Amino acid sequence: MRFHSLEGLRAWMAWWVVLGHAVFLVGLDKISSKPLSIASNLIQQTGVAVGVFIILSGFVIAHLLETKREAYPAYIVRRFFRIYPIFLFCLMIAIAISPLYLDAYTAHEWVSGRPERIARIADENEHFGTHLVLHLSMLHGIPPEEWLQFASSSFLSPAWSLSLEWQFYLLAPAILMMFRRATPPMVLIMAAVFAAMSIGLRASDLNWHYDSFILLAMPLFVIGIASRMSLNEGLTRAQGMMLIAACALSAMAYARAVPGLWLIFPIWGFFYYLVRIEQGLSAAPSNKAFGILRWMGTNKVVSWMGAQSYSTYLIHIPLFSIFVGGAGLMLGEAFTQAQAIIAVLLAIVATIPVSAALYNWVELPFNKRGSAFARRLSGQAPVDA
Residues in the chain: 385
Interior CA angle at 14 toward 12 and 20, to 5°? 95
- At 159-201, the pLDDT tens digits run 999 999 999 999 999 999 999 999 999 999 999 999 999 999 9
Low-confidence ranges of the chain (pLDDT < 50): 382-385
- pLDDT of amino acid 240: 93
Q: Domain residue spans in the chain? A: 4-377
- pLDDT of amino acid 383: 43
**Whether 154 contacts 120, CB under 8 Å:** yes
Exposure string over 7-17, b if 16+ CB within 10 A, otherwise e: bbbbbbbbbbb
- CA pair distance 288, 221, nearest whole angstrom: 33
